[in-house]
Amino acid sequence: MAKWTALCLFLAMTPAFGQMKAQSPSGETEVRAALNNFLTAFDNLEWDKFRLAFVDDATVFYPRAMPDRADARAQFEAGFKKVFEQIRGDRTAAPYLHIEPKELQIKMLGNVAIITFHLDDRPGFLNRRTVVMTKTEAGWKIVHLHASEVATEMRR
C-alpha cells in the first residue's frame, strides 16, 4: 500500500514539476548569460563587473607572460590589472576588445558548468579557453579560468 501511495504521489506531482521547470530558465541559459556578462565586461574593460564574475578563491592560468597559476582574488586581480593596462593603452573608449568565442561548448554538471571555446584573435595561434563556473547565491561565478594557445601550424 505504501508503494502505491508513493507512486500516486509521484505521478500527481510530475506534471506540476514539469510545468515549474519549464517556466524557470535552464542552468545552461543562466550560464550563457553569466559568460556573456563576463565577456562584455572584458571587452569593455569594466573592472568591477569583470572582477565580480569570479569567486574569491578562483584560480587562473594565463596564456602568456605569466607562467604561474594565480591563486585567489589578490593574485588573479593583480594579473588582470596588468592585462587591462596593456589592452587599454592610450585608448579611452570601449570596446577595447571584441571577444568572439568559437566552437563554444557548455557541459552542465549540476551546480558546475565547464565551458570551452576557441578564440581566433592572434595570427598564427589558436587561443583555447576553459571556464569553470559554479552556481552561488549571487548567480553563476567563475571558479577557474584556463587560457592557453597553440600555434596553428601544429593543428591538423
pLDDT higher for 26 or 17? Answer: 26
Task: Give per-residue pLDDT as tens, 46-98.
Answer: 999 999 999 999 999 998 878 899 999 999 999 999 999 999 999 999 999 99
Residue 139's CATH number: 3.10.450.50
Count of domains in the chain? 1
Q: Does a structural domain hold residue 75?
A: yes
Model confidence at 127, in pLDDT bands (50, 70, 90)?
very high
Tell me whether residue 77 is in a domain: yes
Cβ neighbours for 39, distance < 8 A, ≥ 6 positions apart: 99, 101
So what's the pLDDT on residue 121? 80
Grouping H, G, I as helix, E, B as strand and the rest as coil, residue 94 is: coil
* Distance from C-alpha of 66 to C-alpha of 118, rounded to nearest angstrom: 20
- pLDDT, mean of residues 88-112: 96
Domain that holds residue 81: 26-154
Between residues 100 and 22, the one the model is more confident about: 100
Distance CA 105, CA 71 (A): 25
In a domain, 9, yes or no: no
Inside any domain, residue 58: yes
Query: Does residue 137 form part of some domain?
Result: yes
Half-sphere exposure of 114 (CA within 13 A, CB side): 3
